[in-house]
Structure 1
Amino acid sequence: MSGTADGVRDADVVVVGAGPVGLAAAVHARAAGLEVLLVDRRAGTLDKACGEGLLPGALRAVQALGVDPPGHPLSGISYRAPGRHADHRFAAGPGRGVRRTALHAALGERAAAVGAPLVHGRVVALRQDAGGVEVEVVPGVGAAGSDEGRVPLTLRAGWVLGCDGLHSTVRRLAGLDAGTRPGAGRAARHRYGLRRHFAVAPWSDLVEVHWSRYAEAYVTPVSAGVVGVALLGPRAVSGAGFDALLHAQFPELSARLAAAPGTGRLLGAGPLRRRSRRRSAGRVRLVGDASGYVDALTGEGVRVGLAQADAAVRHLADADAYERSWRAVTRDYRALTTGLLAWASSPVRGAIVPTAARAPWLYGAVVERLAR
């Protein structure tokens, strides 16, 4: 399979990145009657360091794609600090804690079923002209090591959707990367995440967000016998051992998990902050984390990414319309996450949980906004 310079296309749309957002974009494109190729350097079921909670709006969006991944019901969110907590249960029904591997497998099966084949390889170049985009791919699973001996594959498409995450190659090749720094002299705001699972029965049907002096721990039940714990915080989080950080910053949670064996791999991510100059460049569109990311504080990544995937396909031929739609579907996420992050990075960080406990109406309104 190869593209040519005479206008013949291998697909209407090449989707780079076969994570949940890329798979959703492929499903939407096929529903619109477009021929699709997915490109990803990874093979098999993909995992990611994330909180794994699908809030009610995200769960509805996943189900609307024709999949219903297994998991554990989530009834609400609990903000917790020693001696204080604020709980709110979702008004419109539960969300679901879903292992990222289960979500990816379900969406992957759906994309394959609707006719979106996957090409394994690493994107190394993009070239655009008036008639389309050429994507140069070094074939093979992995992308580690030398490319020597691998003959590049050129795919020609009408459009390219960059759904390849925080460290997006498409964003860089399209000249849309605006870096990671929120502003000069503020590199201390760079944040990172670690996640692992514990073989223990969930003790709550709420997502617990534990706040310490400088980090947060997200506890998400993902099955009847497993909970996931994600630690978020400044650069020190990525350098500290998971158990040491958990014990130092969250002693009560550490004690609860002391007898629970860890299961699966420890995964990390970061820096979380990513910016793009725009979401479009010619026939290239950025979608999901590749288009820009503030932080994981509010747990909205999947919902926002799926909404962007839908918008990108609906406005494929109109960059300005996609830009407007992107701003609309990310507005609440950007505003709420930026505001909470600023509060969490300030000297009054310790007031977050007490304020939520004293003003349950305000806390509930914020949670319901996230849950939509």
Structure 2
Amino acid sequence: MDTWIGLMSGTSMDGIDAVLVSFQGKAIHTYETHSSPYPEDLRKRLALASQNQASPDEVGELDTLVGTLFADVAENLIRKSSADRSSIRAIGSHGQTLRHQPSGPGRFSLQIGNPSIIAERTGVTTIGDFRSRDMAAGGQGAPLVPAFHQHFFGSETEDRCILNLGGIANITWIPSDPNTLVTGFDTGPANALMDAWCQDQTGRSYDEDGQWANEGIIDQSLLSDMLSDAYFERPPPKSTGKEKFNLEWIKTLLKRHETVRPEDVQRTLMQLSVITATRQMPQSPAMVVYVCGGGARNQPFMRELSQALSPIRVLSTAELGLDPQWVEPTAFAWLARQTMNRKPGNLAEVTGAKGPRILGAIYPA
């Protein structure tokens, strides 16, 4: 049976997740997983580059460095699994997003992590640049995981909402009625703003298990100001990133709320993520919400989410057979499979593209 590797690094820019999997019908078999954090100096350089603070030379160098790291992670995964390399059909590499600009005359989405290096170093055919074709067809280029969610997480007996809590939050609404379209879009920030504020105020790259936020209280005036951002009222299809929701966004708002304590800002940012995700979900009392992504490990965040959605059940995607950390890399392994089998990987009703498209560029072994 063919196996596939998925490589993923999200907007949080904390590191690279990798999986070795196979697919049979709606079943996923996970053979091995591997995670590797970015070196701190590289993470800082990536953060600056994502804020337009990098020259073309620096972006080119980062493309090579990140591609080399992705190749190393894939190699480590293969060694850990003792897999027969010849059975690995392809690697699907999302790359590292530096900028995502889905609107305007020069729309683009830029992921670095040179796939040629991955193919050359591993000897395995690699697929990258998944977002460009959808954007060329008029789509947002994001989110791309809803097609995977629909295929593997769809149910004939319950409406399901898959909530991915990465740097940015996105939802996939999968109704049990097969005649109702799947919908999906970015709801706004999940961890991105909390991570940025924590780094700025404490020097820590993230608020482990939401402990710092737990020390604060929600500032209702600041929260109302945050919620007034037009993005939250914009109808889908829509997608966003740290180009929009970043430290500068927070500091601009705080000019009108200068007396709010840092820990209260953090607590308010958590509530912002909870409210914007839950308010934009379709209203279905029979639905179940399944959470994936790094935010699923933030227990205070999960408690607030459950309270906001009560009596709707909030569960982990582990209940569907896939650990929250590995949903996205598995999705890109599946997208690689779609590409190699000449099948579409997007959902046009989600991204706004003119129709289904085969995604990605193939870099042969």
Q: Higher helix share goes to which structure? A: 2
Could you state the TM-score of these two structures normalised by the residue count of structure 2?
0.24
| TM-score, structure 1 as length reference | 0.24
| Structure that is richer in strand per residue | 1
